[in-house]
Structure 1
Amino acid sequence: MRESSPIREVKSEAEGAEVRVRARGADSETPWSDWVHVETGLTNKWEDVSPITTLCKQPTDGPKRPIYFRKDFDVPSNLRSARLYITALGLYEAEINGRRVGDHVLAPGWQSYNHRHVYDTYDVTEMLVAGEKSVLGAVIGEGWFSGRLGWGGGNRNIYGDTLGLLAVLILTAEDGTTIEIPTDASWKSLTEGPIISGEIYNGEHFDDRIAAEIEGWATRSFNASGWSGTRSLDKLKGRLASPDQPPIRVTEEIKPQRIFKSPSGKTLVDFGQNLVGWLRIRATGPSGHRIQLRHAEVLEDGELARRPLRQAWQEEQVWLSGREITYEPKFTYHGFRFTQVDDWPAETPLDADHLIAVVVHTDMEQTGWFESSNELINKFHSNVRWSMKGDAHMFGPTANYLYDTAGFWRGWHRDVWSEMSSNGKMIPYAYTPTTPSGFGDQMPTAIWGDTQNWIDKGVARNSDGLWDRTKFQFGDWLDPESPFDNPAQPMTSPYLVADAYLVQMTGLLADIVEALGEAGDVTAYALALEFDLFSNVKDLTNGTDTLRQLIADNDYLVGTGFAGTAPLGGALTKANATEYFYRMLLQEKNPSWLYQVVMGGTTTWERWDSLLPDGSLNPGEMLSFNHYAFGSVADWIH
């Protein structure tokens, strides 16, 4: 059990306390932790605060230019503390007196905007000078709120078509009195700022000539008389809540490993690692000179491979102003290892001092590690760690071993739970669907057990079986025998896969209810073994023998896709055939886990052979080079 000290009831909002904890078992207890400061969030104070937007018209059929907001205010001479509570209809970055507030990026993250809206809290006391005037500023980009989102190119304005800022700055004097500075119509706004566009998929366009004109826009000395006014918007649809998840932060910087020319003469930069983030550049050049930065995960015939990106541009365009500029985007991120640099100015060397990759992700504390005597396995595990995203039911068990994921899952589950469809069925992702999907059981499997589920988004039973066979099923998606141009045609019947996972899910949900105190191929046999689908000893023995024989007949190469790979290790363990799995794990030919390593991969791939043995790209689609599903075996390795 956990014990805290001192124990006192905290009753009011925005009230602070110093706490420490220790764990007590049956026979011993841990030492006390260090003291930490905690505060309660806001409840009633939000009732009179509304989001604001600019008076200028915003487009609804294209990307929205980020909006700059600012507010002048007086700081009391007896200031004791200052707290900024802030969120956005979009993404925000805040400044006070020209200094950036906090170190969060892409804040407040992806929200279930119609149901639950997270706000962030910052102690900004040290950014203010008692008795002097100050300025609070924020720039808002479209992010996931109104930017293009979803499969097949996605849709715009899924959550709304108007960018907005919601904030309240609370100043507390030494005598306990407070001054509240909320977002209201007294704020000023600018829509013609230096960020011309900032889109998640397409990237950011930035004009430093405009940045020079509004330099110091969030300082007292700046003249904002030409800025537009603001208007209040309706109250947020979603309930305001403090965050459960750690914020997204810059966690690492990677220097270029190689700068070289492509066969066509293009300048390419190899960072040696497929990563998620963006570039930071430092450059000087003539006013009006444009730099273009294009990003991709791999090369094709020595050139930047743009085909796997589909409708995502993944590029920055930066116009110089004649002065030295240090620039990195605010409202986009990319998956890339390689960057094509076009029109780099002759006045600036292209080297590690002027161009660096910035890695960003949810800043969870690492709590688990893995190392073996096999360097290829170690590299494979590193690739898995660099690939954990999406497919939550698959990466969940591995992530839980490697990181403190408690807060992450708490927030993720609340968002997905909020987005349950009106008929009570679980949708596969936390935004309004634009296409069918089959990830409907991520909620329980992501944190309960080490398995996954691929069921249709809520197809009812019919008289012909558990599933309506006129509806789409993912099945054993991207198994190595499926046609390259039709990944939805696996060797294993998609309805067998769906049946197996439905049975497993039913049992899993029964386990959850109990815990709460309330009442023809490798994939097929792996699912049956791992999910205990054999009804008697004879069938179990036959299934075990068949699975072993299928693997041996396939020369110990992997014969499973998304659905069959995760349970494979557990199935062979139950079959007392772990030596079969070790032989599979150590294979280096395609399809295998180490094939991607020996082919130079630094993350796990969506296809076993996204890169063919001759180094060329697979001619099919589904060519992500940072896709976790086949890395789910890491949970068994742990």
Structure 2
Amino acid sequence: MPPVISRPITFEHYREPLGIGESSPRISWQSEAEPDWVQSGYEIEIRRSSQVDRFVITSSDQILVPWPAEDLRSRESADARVRVTGTNGLRSEWSDWATVETGLLNADEWVAVPISADWEEDPEAEKQPPLLRTEFAARPDVVSARLYASAHGVYEVEINGQRVGTDILSPGWTVYGERLRYYTYDVTEIINEGTNAMGVWLADGWYRGRLGFHGGYRNLYGTDLSFIGQLEITYSNGSRETIASSPDSGWRASKGPIIMSSLYDGEEHDQRQEHAGWTMPGFDDSDWSGVVSNLRDPHTLVPAEGPPVRCTEEITPVRVERKPDGRILLDFGQNLVGRLQLAGNGTANTSISVRHAEVLQDGELYTRPLRDARSTDIIHLASDGSFRWEPRFTIHGFRYAEISGWPNDFNAENVTARVYHTDMQRTGTFECSDPAVNRLHENVLWSMRGNFVDIPTDCPQRDERLGWTGDIQVFAPTASYLYDCSAMLSSWLKDVAAEQLPDGTVPWYVPVIPGGPMWTPIRPGAVWGDVAVLTPWTLYERFGDTAVLERQYSSAKAWIDLMDRLSGPGHLWNTGFQLGDWLDPNAPPEDPAAALTDKYLVATAYFAWSTQKFSETAHVLGKAEDAQKYASLAADIRRAFTAEYVLDDGMMVSDAQTAYALAINFDLIEDSRLLQMAGDRLSELVSKAENRISTGFAGTPAVTDALTKTGHVETAYALLLEKECPSWLYTVEQGATTIWERWDSQRPDGTVNPGGMTSFNHYALGAVADWLHRSVAGIAPLEPGYKKILIAPHPTEAFSYAAGTLMSPYGEIQSRWERDGQSLTYTFTVPNGTTASVLLPGQDLFEVGAGEHHIRTDL
């Protein structure tokens, strides 16, 4: 049978290739074929206007292949399709056409400027966001209409009363002075012949809203709240008309019904201040104010790379409790990130408030972990009758909500929790026969969803929600299996480079905000700063894209060179401020950096590992001199590490789980005898601790792998399956539905940990899921993008089966093992275009090609 192009072709890493920033976007596809079919070449047709060009290429490549035609111009749309030919001569049919369209590729094509209301405001006060509107005429022969939009703040646009797009909190959070994203919307279908109206909602967002702990900071990026919009209407004769945000083009401003909107504190909406019909033509805005322009270098306007934040799920409460005083307590059964939509019959001048929290204490919302985030939404109803309302410009992390002031009878149908996060494609699954482990994996998934809200944050609920670099550095391998986060993280890494100091220091969180005495001034720190090297490498390893390595090369090199300078000729990073194995459960609540493992051991281990990976990065990019230089440096660091921290009997100076885990997993012990002794000691420590975890942010991603690598896989399973505190399944036993910040965020007696930072939604300690995917289900990349796959599951008597699936760039990989009496059955599927190395217990490594494979072995 001939091969088939099995999914729509894609451009770069876009889910929606509209308004892209690349003039020559790379193309990818997936194919299905008989197991012995191997691609030898492909043809690409590019259709531009009425011209079709065909390009014939002899190559087995199918991921991110070069754009074969002339570069696309700004605003240009093109269609592409592919067919492939095998070494046996069998050729596929053409794929369906797929469309790509560029945005505004040149700064001089922006005629729009930031506009805001022209009234005076107290820059330090909490301000009422304005509405902006204008009207414009359109001829009858509209062919296409595109809105290019951004803001100082966050925005939503309506045209002729219809919402434009489904995204929220756009344009997201970037280092605004360097990079301000714009989004492109196809609004062709909502432009009418004759008069049209466009209205814009604005709010503070990250631009001028309160950010950070210790009360936070306002106006970090500016004091104005401005819209930047360029609507371009193209007619059948090829002419184009532009309606741009500018002070002299009929734009008007007024206070809106949103009294206050804050990412931390919530939103207050007064229906009595609404302007009925204000986004429709003919609205009387004669009493509205004018607008003024503000500053924005158009060179800083960049097209969005990743998908926006959207509602991805709706959840109804699993329990509704009416308190004696009329308050309504809701339990949604899942700790989530989003906001509530309320619907019911109201009474004029009634005020309804909604408070949010992740946990209860004594049957009431427990808000202390929120610190200074009020997390409260309020609506003031204007009239009797039905209403439906959801806040626009805030989100909350919560499982529980409390409604006060509800005017009538209430039931579960009156409220819906709408889940919001960056709308990435789900790619990976895992399951096994143990329901508690499955719940743990679900908790990891939900923590990722809640913290991938435009940037990868630490937590979604309290007065923080920052892009902590160490958290995503340890979690990126897990994230890259669960979702296609390539575009989102690649974009964020550009901000890492933008915020990096001239000496190479990587901030603790990106974008940077003032952080008080602990985090200011910005100082270099291991684990966190290593995001500059290790996260680009993870994206390359998992998605097969060398471009992210190229873009981040200077940033990564600057970080390695800084560590080299700080370590000096001895190659030991043993001075300065470090967080070390942050949140080791043995550390006291008030000092989470006081781990069992020497913080400088952690720093030097990461110095060695990042340097090795940077050497490999240089090799991939063909930078031979750097590859050799940094490989030699990595070897020197490993020798220094062994001499300083590893004893002659395989013991380590820090006799702690994290010390052994890092040394083993980072290949820092080159003597095989000492390596095995270190693995044996790690296993002893785990058993001595009665299988309780004793690692923090640095050790947790490494400990199960280190045990597996040294032949102690059953000890790794024992560590995974332990249910006493501290352990992964302790949190599940306590009813957790997301990963906690601390191993004991909730203590065995049901009380919340008294530490000042106690989140119930942090993904870092969920990095163990990467081991579940690779070592339990058995799916790991051997070559970038899973071009070559390692199928190496480690069955255990604790499970009767385990399985995983991954939609890799080449297609879906499946791996399953199942215990049946005295035998094990392995089933795995290898997608077309790839091969797999298979390593099963008790067998030698063997190679297989594409197709479905079944193997049965005796126990």
Q: Which TM class, normalised by the smaller chain length? A: over 0.9
Tell me the SS of whatever aligns to 1:513: helix
The 10-residue stretch of structure 1 (378-387 or 71-80) with the greater mean CA deviation from structure 2: 71-80
What is the 5 A alignment of 1:314-353? 314-323=375-384, 324-346=386-408, 349-353=409-413
Q: Is 2:586 the partner of 1:481?
A: yes
- Percent identity among equivalent residues? 41
SS in 2 for 1:317: strand
CA drift at 1:25: 7.5
Q: Counterparts in 2 of 1:123-202, with a 5 A limit?
A: 123-130=186-193, 132-185=194-247, 186-202=249-265
Residues 1:406 and 2:446 are matched in the alignment: no
TM-score (normalizing by structure 2): 0.70
Aligned match for 2:501, one of 410, 421, 430 = 421
Contact 1:266/1:342 (8 A) holds in 2: yes
Match of 2:605 in 1: 500
Distance 1:567 1:318, change over 3 A: same
Check 1:208–1:34 CA distance in 2 against 1; reply closer, same or farther (3 A cut).
same
Asked whether 1:358 is paired with 2:418, we answer yes
2:560 touches 2:607 (CA, 8 Å); kept in 1? Answer: no
Contact 1:79/1:173, CA 8 A, preserved across alignment: yes
Rg larger for: 2
The answer to whether the Cα contact below 8 Å between 2:110 and 2:298 also exists between their aligned partners in 1 is no
- Where do 1:64-143 residues align within 5 Å? 64-130=127-193, 132-143=194-205
Distance change >3 Å, CA 151–CA 236, structure 1 → 2: farther
Does 2:658 match 1:527?
A: no
| Aligned residue type for 1:431 | P
For 2:235 and 2:166, the matched residues in 1 are separated by 26
Contact kept? 2:739, 2:766, Cα under 8 Å: yes
Deviation, 1:93, is 0.2
Shift of 1:30: 6.8
Q: Contact 1:69/1:138 (CA < 8 Å) preserved in 2? A: yes
The 5 A counterparts of 1:397-476 are 397-435=477-515, 436=519, 438=525, 439-449=528-538, 461=566, 466-467=572-573, 469=575, 471-476=576-581
- Please give the alpha-carbon distance, in whole angstroms, between the structure 1 residues aligned to 2:87 and 2:718: 43
Q: 2:369 maps to what in 1?
A: 308
Q: Partners in 2 of 1:129 and 1:263 — Cα distance?
A: 53
- How many angstroms does 1:493 deviate by? 1.6
Segment drifting more, 37-46 vs 105-114:
37-46
- Structure 1 position 261, deviation (Å): 4.5
- Aligned-residue offset at 1:288: 2.1
The residue number in structure 1 matching 2:771 is: 636
> Following superposition of structure 1 onto structure 2, how do residues 247-326 of structure 1 map, counting pairs within 5 Å?
247-261=308-322, 266-323=327-384, 324-326=386-388
Distance 1:447 1:461 in 2: 23
TM-score relative to the length of structure 1? 0.94
Deviation at 1:406, TM superposition (A): 2.2
Picking from 39, 64, 70, the partner of 2:101 is 39
Number of the residue aligned with 2:268: 205
Q: Secondary structure at the match of 1:20?
A: strand
Shift of 1:266: 4.3
Name the CA distance, whole Å, in 2 between partners of 1:632 and 1:56.
Answer: 49
Q: Which amino acid aligns with 2:620?
A: A
Give ranges in structure 1 of 5+ residues lacking alignment. none
- Cα contact 2:220–2:513 (8 A) shared by 1: no
- CA distance in structure 1 between the aligned counterparts of 2:577 and 2:86, rounded to whole angstroms: 50
Cα displacement (A) at 1:282: 1.4
1:29 CA drift (Å): 7.3
User: What is the rounded CA distance, in whole Å, between the counterparts of 1:553 and 1:344 in structure 2?
Assistant: 55
Q: Take 2:251 and 2:562, find their aligned partners in 1: how far apart are those partners?
A: 47
Please give the alpha-carbon distance, in whole angstroms, between the structure 1 residues aligned to 2:746 and 2:263.
26
Q: Which has the higher contact order (CA 8 A, sep 6+)?
A: 1
Q: 1:522 is aligned with what amino acid? A: Q
Give deviations 1:546-577, integer Å, cap 9, x for gaps. Answer: 11111111111111111110011221122111
Contact 2:326 2:404 (C-alpha < 8 Å) held by counterparts = no
Superposition RMSD on alpha carbons, in Å? Answer: 2.4
2: CA distance, partners of 1:502 / 1:262: 56
Partner of 2:745: 610
> Is the CA contact 1:50–1:236 (under 8 Å) kept in the aligned structure 2?
no
User: Contact (CA 8 Å) 1:456, 1:473: kept in 2 or not?
Assistant: no
| Structure 2 unaligned residues grouped into runs of 5+ | 1-26, 29-41, 47-52, 54-68, 452-456, 458-470, 542-555, 627-654, 774-859
Match of 2:691 among 534, 556, 567: 556
What one-letter code is carried by the residue in structure 2 that aligns with 1:359?
Answer: V
1:623 aligns with 2:728: no
**Cα offsets for 1:252-284 (capped at 9, x unmatched):** 000011011469874310000000100001133
Are the equivalent residues in 1 in contact too, given 2:474–2:698 (CA < 8 A)? no
Q: 1:428 to 1:236 in 2, by over 3 A?
A: farther
Task: Tell me how far apart the structure 2 counterparts of residues 124 and 617 of structure 1 sit (CA, whole Å).
Answer: 49
Q: Report the secondary structure of 1:385's partner residue.
A: helix
The 1-side partners of 2:84 and 2:492 are apart by 27
Alignment of 1:24-35 (within 5 A): 32-35=94-97
2:296 aligns with one of 227, 231, 235: 235
* Residue identity matched to 2:321: F
CA distance in 2: counterparts of 1:481 and 1:308, whole angstroms = 21
Paired residue secondary structure (1:370): strand
What is the number of equivalent residue pairs in this alignment? 630
1:57, distance to aligned residue in structure 2 (A)? 1.8
For the pair 1:49 / 2:112, whether they are aligned, the reply is yes
Cα distance 1:580–1:516, how it changes in 2: closer, same or farther (>3 A)?
Answer: same
Change (3 A) 1:263 1:481: farther
Q: Which segment drifts farther, 302-311 or 27-36?
A: 27-36
**Contact persistence 1:395–1:446 (CA under 8 A):** no
Q: What is the distance in 2 between the residues matched to 1:145 and 1:29?
A: 53
Secondary structure class of the residue paired with 1:371: strand
Alignment check: 8 A CA contact 2:196 2:280 kept: yes
Tell me if the contact between 1:140 and 1:164 (Cα under 8 Å) persists in the aligned partners: yes
> 1:3-26, CA deviations, whole angstroms, 9 ceiling, x for partnerless residues?
532244354311111223467777
CA distance in 2, matches of 1:619, 1:492: 23
Q: Distance in 1 between matches of 2:473 and 2:187?
A: 38
Write the distance in 2 (CA, Å) between the matches of 1:30 and 1:298: 55
Aligned residue number for residue 595 of structure 2: 490
Larger deviation, residues 595-604 vs 412-421: 412-421
What do residues 518-545 of structure 1 show as CA deviations (whole Å, max 9, x unaligned)? 1221111111101111242343233122
Structure 2 equivalent of residue 588 of structure 1: 723
CA distance in 2, matches of 1:30, 1:557: 54
Q: 1:619 to 1:429 in 2, by over 3 A?
A: closer
